[in-house]
Structures are given as C-alpha cells and as structure tokens.
Amino acid sequence: MVDVNDSRGDDPTVAEHRGDDSHRGAFGEFGGATAGLIERTFREKIIIVALQEPGVPFEEITEGLDELERLVDTAGADVVDRVVQRRTHPDPATFIGRGKAREIHDLAEALDVDTVVFDADLSPAQQFNLERIFGRSALDRTAVILDIFAQNATTLEGRAQVELAQLRYRLPRLRGRGLQLSQQGGGIGTRGPGETQLEVDRRRIQRRLTKLERELEALRLRRQNQRKARRRSRFHTVAIVGYTNAGKSTLLNRLTGSGVLVEDRLFATLDATTRRLQLPGGETVLLSDTVGFIRKLPHSLVEAFMSTLEEVSEADLLVHLVDASASDPEAQMAAVHLVLGEIGAGEVPELIVFNKADRGTGVARLVREHPGSVAISATTGEGVDTLLSVIGDRLRSMLDMVELFIPYERGDVMASVHREGEVLVEIHEDEGTRVRARLDEASRQLLGEYVVGDRR
C-alpha cells in the first residue's frame, strides 16, 4: 500500500508513545541487545517512508523506494508497506510531521512492524522524536547501507573502514537516561551524580575512532607504496567503476579469471581487487574492481573508504560499467559521476560500457546516445573482445607522439619500441629507421638517445 497524504499541520496535542515496553527491533532506544543496525536473528518487518516535496515527480519517489526496498532485503528484512508523505519541506522535529508519524505508529501496530526506515537522512533529533512516537526503531537510508557494508566487509581494511563509518554515524545519536546511568563518586566533593554513562560511551567511541583512523592511515600509506611500485612497473592501471550490482565483479572474473565473489545483490563485494590483464595488442595492464556506488551514498562511507577509492582517482582509465537493463541507467550514471567528483576522480578518462546487453532491449539506443561507448554481456562474453580492443586503443591514445631514429644494427631497440608503445610510422633511410610512435614518459626516458622529435 502506498499512502499519500498532504500535510495539514501537526497536532501538538497528540500523545506520544513513551515506549515503556521496548518493541523487538534493531537500533536505538527501542532496539534489542544486538550491536547491529538491523536484527538478523529473524526477518524484521519494515515500513519504508519517503517525503515528496513540491516539484519532485512521484515516479522519482517510487524509484527511490524501490531501491530502498532492495537495500532492506539485502540487509535481511522484509518490507511490508510503504508510506509517502507530501510536504512543502521536512519537519525539523519529526521529518514527516507529528500527525503523520502517529498514523505510521498505528499502521506499525496493526502490521506488527519492527522498524520504520526512511528514504532520507534523519538528524539525531528527528530519529529520537520518531522513535518516541513509533515505540520502535526508526532508521534512515544511511543506517541500512552501513548495515549492509558491515555484513559484507571481509578484509581487515574493509572491516575497519565500515566500523569507522558506523561509529561516526552513531556518535551523535548516543542517548543517556539521566541519573539512572550516572556513576557515583567517592570521597569529599565527589558525592552525587558523577560522570554519566553517556559521557563514558562517547569517550570510548572517540578513543576507538582515533585508533581506527590511525590504522587506516597506516593502510593508506601501504597502498600508496603499492601504487608507487605499480608505477615503477610501468603498467597502465584501469579501474572498473559503476553502480552497485552493475556486474563489475562478473566482468573482472570474465577478463582475468580472478574468482571474485559474484552475487545478484547490492554491495556483494566491498574490497578492491587488482589483477593483471593482457590486452590484444600485447600490453599488460592492472585491472581493479572497486566498491559499487549508489544514489545518496553516505558521505561517511566515502570518507571511510577513501584509501580504497584512491585506486580510482589514480587510475589511467576508468571503465564505467552501466547496467543497461536498469529502469533508469542515466540516473545511475549520474550518481556514479557525483561520487567520482567527490573523490577527485572526475577528470580521469572514462570509457562507458553498457553491461547486460543480453537482458536489456535499449542497449543500441544507449550506445548511440553515448558515442565511443561499448555494449557487452559480462555473463555470456558478448562484446568483451571489442571492449579489450577499445581499452587498448584508449590507453595508447593517451601516450605522447615521439619521433626516433634507430640504427639498423640496433634491432633490440626497435623491438623495445614495438613492445613499449604504439608504432605509427616507420620510414627506412640509408643508415637506419625513422619511427613515429606513442610512448609513455618512462619509455621516452629509456630511449632518450634515439629521440629526435617529441610532440607532447
């Protein structure tokens, strides 16, 4: 059921549910003892809620709720109803208005719902007020995404990144319960309420945050050293980016046989994987799979995963994989470009690749609308050979034009030019061969004594 009501003002006389009996559920004052955001010892029943402001098409709201429902399912819960509230602007205290919140409370009681999830970010005050009215947990979109990341993080770095983002999310949402959690001091001048449990918890989280930030900084420096080693190897780096569940891991497996986990669900893989790939022209590149993006990707996650996402910003070429069978591929592409800009990768050369050509019917139209793009099916292998050829062409086109004169007796140098770059012209003269080729900076320096012209 989709319930759409116009806001007619809040009723300040509505009595709030005070939550004397905690409802089973996940996070917050009304949650259980679990440390997670969504309880997975059973399939929670969830109501999802969206706010429609003037000028926002209802189709856009519906698409957002569809995606939120997939997120909830991935997190391990079931959506049993939807609510859409029309308002001119979010209510500062309850986001949707107190009257509408009471309606959702009654609906949650009737459906025996555990948690209410909003397709937006709630402030700590809004979350607190809504939970007091609902008598059960109120979560926002960020909380659900954090929960999914927590489930899927497997490496040491991934777990640390997710924990850092979760603690940053939880810190402003800590709630004390007054004197009942106070610690009594002993001795003259210290009697009475002392440090509250809230203050103890906040200080403990701050210490943990500092420790995680130090650990991730050390991992970031290690990644930097690894990237320096790759640059010394003179291999080009290609990063696969795209919306979550676009098929990035499937493509990496298809191209390199890496055996990365592939599942038809959101954020199935979080950890960056890098493998060597041989292109048809003989060049070897380093191909990396990265975490998927999504609309309204929490800023705290972007910050926490910055060391991993630097693989994207420092790549020579981005293979932007797009699910051609999605209901709105253009919106997904826009979401990816937004995150790329946020991490400093907006200027990295991009090759758009429309995946799942075997499922969608509008692939040809998308390729026409995006000149230079490629259509493939990572599952069946259709179009993959073309993709590899285009990647090689794009990488070679980034190299600078160099003119060299190589004596005939230095056949080893000529072989090196063919191996290191793209030879465009060979002119045989009396004493040697004049060559025009595309070479990278390292190759130009290596062959510097034979360079007679440099067109950078």
pLDDT in tens, the chain (456 residues): 444 444 444 444 344 544 444 454 554 444 443 445 555 566 889 999 999 999 999 998 999 999 999 999 988 899 999 999 999 999 999 999 999 999 999 999 999 999 999 999 999 999 999 999 999 999 999 999 888 888 877 778 888 888 888 888 888 887 654 444 444 444 444 444 555 677 888 888 889 989 988 888 888 888 777 767 666 656 788 999 999 888 888 898 888 876 655 555 566 566 677 888 888 877 788 898 887 888 888 877 887 777 778 778 888 899 999 999 888 899 999 999 998 998 888 889 999 999 988 876 788 899 999 999 999 999 899 999 999 999 988 888 887 788 999 999 998 888 888 877 778 889 999 889 999 888 877 778 888 888 887 655
Q: Which of 417, 389, 441 is nearest to 234 (CA)?
A: 441
Domain boundaries, the chain: 2-149, 156-216, 235-396, 399-455
| DSSP string for residues in 264-284 | SSTT---S-EEEEEE-TTS-E
Q: Looking at residue 234, what is its pLDDT?
A: 64
Cα dihedral sign for 62, 73, 324, 345?
Answer: positive
| Residue 248: count of CB within 10 angstroms of its CB | 28
Cα dihedral sign for 133, 137, 140, 142?
Answer: positive
pTM: 0.74
Distance in angstroms (rounded) separating the CA atoms of residues 424 and 403: 10
Distance in angstroms (rounded) separating the CA atoms of residues 80 and 112: 10
Q: Which of 149, 79, 128, 107 is nearest to 304 (CA)?
A: 149
Helix ranges, 296-426 (H): 299-304, 306-313, 329-342, 363-369, 384-397, 411-420
Q: Looking at residue 299, what is its pLDDT?
A: 79
What separation, in Å, do the N-terminal and C-terminal C-alpha atoms of the chain show?
A: 62
Class level of CATH domain 235-396:
alpha beta
Q: Which of 240, 274, 267 is nearest to 378 (CA)?
A: 240
Q: State which fold the 2-149 domain adopts.
A: Rossmann fold (3.40.50)
The tokens describing 313, both together, are 């910003």
What 3-state DSSP class applies to 49?
strand
2-149 and 235-396 in the same fold: yes
Distance in angstroms (rounded) separating the CA atoms of residues 257 and 275: 9
The tokens describing 442, both together, are 């390292």
The tokens describing 308, both together, are 């991993």
Contacts of 414 (CB under 8 A, 6+ apart): 406, 433, 435
